[in-house]
Amino acid sequence: MKNPNLTPDNQSSDHASDRMQTATILALFFVGLFLIQGVFLPYWPVWLKAQGLSAGEIGILLSLPNWVRVFADPLIAQRADRTGNRKTPMLWLGGIYVLSILAFPVSSNFWWLAGLSVVIGFTFSPLLPLGTTITVHECKARDLDYGRVRLWGSLAFIFASYGAGWVLDGTSTSWIVWMLFIAGIVNFAILTRMPDPQTDRPLRSGSSLIYLLRKPVFLIYLGCIGFAQGAHGTYYSFASVHWESVGYSHEMIGIFWSIGVIAEIALFAVAGRFVRGRHPGMLFALGAFAGIVRWLVLGSSDNIWLIILVQPLHAMTFGITHLAAVSFIARAIPQALATSAQSLMATLSMGVFLGSSIWASGPLYENFGSQAYYVMAILSGIALAFSFWLMRSWRGEDQTFCD
């Protein structure tokens, strides 16, 4: 029954307030995740190195979470699509992650660290596809700009990476674990406030994962995002280690990482109109071409000004590629399959492709140093070829995979 006391102006005000509240908590979701990532990506290799591990062992430990998500993400995502419930598993996973971080300082034994890395892969990795599915759903339902919601995660990454570098220059690497623990507590608190839409109908029968993997266009799409993300393997695993080895301070390393993410934020802030209506294959091509340039430069020089010059290309190699991946799923995939699609994308791109690349970067960096980036440039070139294939194979139809 309609409330007779509600005027059109009041209804409009309530609607605007509801949109703002939803946008705020969705933005905070990304803040929580990327506070963790902002410490983990630049400085976890540094912590592992301080435990006396070799480059090869570091590569294995860094790749393990990515490999675990190959199994964890699809299982959790398919369950979420069948039940329509995404928030409850996110709370369980976020809580277990916080507890597992505390166990890392117990021993520097390789196998102890490997076991905990498996737990991290199982608990932290699925949070992004689960939360992104909720975010995309709420953005469509409430006419919110996904890019402007997502950019707050990038701001959190800058705060965490620069702040952690500043802390470490005045303390010791042991603080890396405690910063990850504090970020995990913040993340869990935010997860408790996430919306919990229950609008998707469970699939009637069969596996949503197998259904998607039988679609040639979806496989080409996975090639685009997979090789593009895999090309970041050496950067994510050994950029900080290498910059530290050539004499850059932890604070300067934090600045290097922050420059790339600042550019990513600027992209997310203004890219909404540009992305809307653009073919995802074209966006993938822009990111892949930028990757070729970025990795060739980082592989050939440690000059501070060249590093500063190419770090903004992170807006293309990661940012525009991420928007292309989300845009394809939002346009081509029915909502009942959205979490499975997000999970397959994250599993294969951040699991199989990036995991393999990080693992390979260990021996590559051990033998060739920063020239390992040249292999990353080759992966970006393959991603570029897949992006052209996607443009030829898919016309951009909405709900492509509706039977």
Measured distance CA(218)–CA(338) in Å, rounded: 13
Reported confidence tier of residue 242, pLDDT bands at 50, 70, 90: very high
The domain locations on the chain are: 16-393
Which token pair is 220?
């080409």
Question: Any idea which residue has 């998707």 for tokens?
Answer: 200
What's the whole-number mean pLDDT along residues 17-39? 90
What pLDDT digit, counting tens, does each position of 374-389 carry? 999 999 999 999 999 9
Q: Which residue type is seen at 43?
A: Y
Out of 73-87, 246-260, 362-376, least confident range: 73-87
pLDDT reading at 37 higher than 60: yes
Q: Enumerate the H helices of 311-353 as residue ranges.
A: 314, 321-332, 338-346
Out of 91-105, 191-205, 326-340, 349-363, least confident range: 191-205
pLDDT reading at 189 higher than 80: yes
In the prediction, which pLDDT does 285 show?
Answer: 97
What pLDDT digit, counting tens, does each position of 203-232 carry? 444 567 788 888 899 999 999 999 999 999
Measured distance CA(90)–CA(330) in Å, rounded: 21
Query: Which superfamily is assigned to 16-393 in CATH?
Result: MFS general substrate transporter like domains (1.20.1250.20)
Residues 329, 187, 149, 386, CA torsion sign: negative
Measured distance CA(348)–CA(335) in Å, rounded: 20
pLDDT reading at 198 higher than 70: no
DSSP 206: S
User: Got the DSSP string for 219-256?
Assistant: HHHHHHHHHHHHTTHHHHHHHHHHHHHTT--HHHHHHH
pTM above 0.75, yes or no: no
Neighbours of 267 (CB within 10 A): 23
